[in-house]
Structure 1
Amino acid sequence: MTLGERLRGLLELCRPANAVVAGVLTLIGAYVAGRPFARGALVAAFATVFATAAGNAINDYFDREIDAINDPGRPIPRGAVPPRGALAFSAVLFAAAIVLALLLPAFAIGVAVVNLVALVAYTKLFKGLPGAGNAVVAYLGGSTFLFGAAAVERPFAAAVLFALAALSTFAREVIKDVEDVAGDREEGLHTLPIAVGERRACWLGAAVLAVAILASPLPYLRDLFGVAYLVVVVPADFVMAYAAYAAFDDPARAQGLLKYGMFLAAAAFVVGRALV
């Protein structure tokens, strides 16, 4: 294994696209709070990137046997990164995230502490519990917005965005578990689709997504944003509703559609804040 291949493996462990997106979502939280250019916003964004990358790396460490079945091309199963190397790499990334988080206001530090504990505990403690792992990931997904707002000392400004993102993420995670049933069952995990059946899990995901869709007009109804918000969020709602329908026959396609719909919904908040 060459040095270049090992470095590429370490980069893949981070899932850099996901880590950068998480940082951007943190900035959106600060933007919705009205202070996107505050120093805390940028610090929080970088902390989020490092923490997300660390969480992805440690998740691959704990999931290495499952990935050997579900995704053998991941860095550890294919031999690009040894398991202990992945663990050490995640520790370095977590340390960087902690150093940055300590520069932020107290509420943001509190969010960071909860998130870091959840990231470390997720795979080992929660992932195999029906619904619990989905709820942890849902919280982490929504908390990027909350963290960004907290970093500029206005945490409650992003409360609605946090809730909508958490609900949508929960639904996407349930659908992803439906897609991964074979490997999860082989590994002995007790995920929601395994516990209640794949179709019932899809119905639950659709129901949670319906709550998010029905709640999405709240920022407009509460006069937080104007019509511009609705113009963008309504198409996002349609995409997510279709994703819930598609999940019953093609969960892989459905979760891709959900990711697109969630990005579009985040854009609605940006547009709504810009044109308020």
Structure 2
Amino acid sequence: MSRSARFNAVVQLLRPRTLLVSPLSYCVGIAVADHRFDFVVVLGVVFHILVPLVANAHNAVTDLVEDAKNVPGRLQLVETAGEALLGRIVYVGLSIMSLLALAISFAQSVVWLASIFLLLGYSAPRFRLKGRPIIGMAVFSMAVTEPYIAGALLSDSWWRIPRYGSWWPLALGIFLFCWYFAKGIMKNVPDYAGDRAAGLRTIPALMSSQRAAAWAAATATTVVYLTFPVLVMVTDIPDRLVCAGLMALPAVANMASMVRARTLVEYNRVGQRDMYVSVVFLALLLFGLRPSAGTAALGLGAVAVMVWSDVSGRDSRASRHLTGPDRR
């Protein structure tokens, strides 16, 4: 096996297009805390890129049963990359994150200790939290909630945490949790058949059909996006953040495509488009909280990484990996 083939397989399994929501959410928390963008923040961004990266490496090894039906091509990628190498990526990544957490702040260290179990337990055979309808989605939501909390708790002192004179940062954090909870429902719709066959009790897998699951995901997504402008109006969230509510339009249009979808490829494309919507939504939140060329560049850079990943096919959920007679 050539080194280039192995490297390419690893990159696809680490899924660069999925590594962006966590650092963006972290930066949103940083902006809420009104903390300057310094070296410690850079360490936090690296930390929150590594979290989904390690999760993707771990899930690639633990999800072989359902992937055999949902994404058969991913099994070939795991074989090419090697389970041993993916395991080393997990343990090295966890070690680096532990050191980064200690360097960033006491609050980040505490949050990280609580998050290790969730990261590994989400798909680990012993706990398999992803197979529990509500708990699984709650853990999935931590992909944006934990970074937001970590950013919002950052101060100039390693020990102290900021004090807030308003409850709107808490309201925004609760919204982000609900927002990504709905995304988690949508994310599992394409995997309906494989998850049911593997005995995973995700929310979509409990539905009577994949179409019913698509309707549930579409409803949850529509409600949560339409709630955001209302939240801005009834809380002290800065009014300019209402611009992020414009993402309700492409989000709802994409959900309309989901309820019309019939093949795995069509469902998968809905999920791919939804990640663009999610990244732009977070980028608009960040820019609304701290309008600057730097925050605009962060958002544009995140979108550019996604475009590169999709154009180059550097993703283990690319359509070519959805093989099978009914997956054209």
TM-score normalised by L of structure 1:
0.86
CA contact (8 A) 1:27 1:42 kept: no
- 2:145 maps to 142
Give the deviation of 1:20 after TM superposition: 4.3
Question: Which residue of the other structure, out of 126, 129, 136, is the alignment partner of 1:126?
Answer: 129
Question: Are the structure 2 counterparts of residues 155 and 195 from structure 1 closer, same or farther at C-alpha, using a change threshold of 3 Å?
Answer: farther
Moved over 6 A (4+): none
CA contact (8 A) 2:68 2:75 kept: no
- 2:283 maps to 267
- 1:16 maps to 16
Which runs of structure 2 are paired with 1:4-83 in the superposition (5 Å)? 4-74=4-74, 77=77, 79-83=79-83
- 1:184 maps to 195
- 2:225 maps to 213
Cα distance in 1 for residues equivalent to 2:224 and 2:184: 14
Give the deviation of 1:270 after TM superposition: 2.1
Question: Are the structure 2 counterparts of residues 73 and 17 from structure 1 closer, same or farther at C-alpha, using a change threshold of 3 Å?
Answer: same
Are residue 255 (structure 1) and residue 271 (structure 2) matched? yes
SS of the residue 1:224 aligns to: coil
- 2:307 maps to none
Question: Are the structure 2 counterparts of residues 115 and 76 from structure 1 closer, same or farther at C-alpha, using a change threshold of 3 Å?
Answer: farther
Cα distance in 1 for residues equivalent to 2:72 and 2:268: 17
The structure showing larger relative contact order (alpha-carbon pairs under 8 Å, at least 6 residues apart) is: 2
Cα distance in 2 for residues equivalent to 1:74 and 1:89: 17
Question: Which residue of the other structure, out of 171, 176, 180, is the alignment partner of 1:169?
Answer: 180
Give the deviation of 1:75 after TM superposition: 6.3
- 1:225 maps to 238
Amino acid at match of 1:219: V
SS of the residue 1:54 aligns to: helix
Give the deviation of 1:30 after TM superposition: 0.9
Question: Are the structure 2 counterparts of residues 274 and 24 from structure 1 closer, same or farther at C-alpha, using a change threshold of 3 Å?
Answer: closer
Question: Are the structure 2 counterparts of residues 246 and 26 from structure 1 closer, same or farther at C-alpha, using a change threshold of 3 Å?
Answer: same
Taking only aligned residues, the RMSD between alpha carbons, in angstroms, comes to: 2.7
Question: Are the structure 2 counterparts of residues 108 and 159 from structure 1 closer, same or farther at C-alpha, using a change threshold of 3 Å?
Answer: farther
Give the deviation of 1:98 after TM superposition: 1.0
Which runs of structure 2 are paired with 1:189-200 in the superposition (5 Å)? 189-197=200-208, 198-200=210-212
Cα distance in 2 for residues equivalent to 1:58 and 1:224: 37
Cα distance in 1 for residues equivalent to 2:36 and 2:71: 38
Give the deviation of 1:90 after TM superposition: 0.8
Cα distance in 2 for residues equivalent to 1:131 and 1:51: 22
Unaligned runs of at least 5 residues, structure 2: 156-160, 262-266, 292-328
Cα distance in 2 for residues equivalent to 1:191 and 1:69: 16
Identity of aligned residues (%): 23
CA contact (8 A) 2:67 2:74 kept: yes
CA contact (8 A) 1:57 1:90 kept: yes
CA contact (8 A) 1:184 1:190 kept: yes
Question: Are the structure 2 counterparts of residues 4 and 10 from structure 1 closer, same or farther at C-alpha, using a change threshold of 3 Å?
Answer: same
Spell out, residue by residue over 1:153-184, the C-alpha distance to the aligned partner (whole angstroms, 9 max, x if none): 44977434432332222222212222111222
- 2:98 maps to 98
Spell out, residue by residue over 1:53-104, the C-alpha distance to the aligned partner (whole angstroms, 9 max, x if none): 1111001110123223322332655521222321222111111111101122
Give the deviation of 1:193 after TM superposition: 2.1
TM-score normalised by L of structure 2:
0.73
Unaligned runs of at least 5 residues, structure 1: none
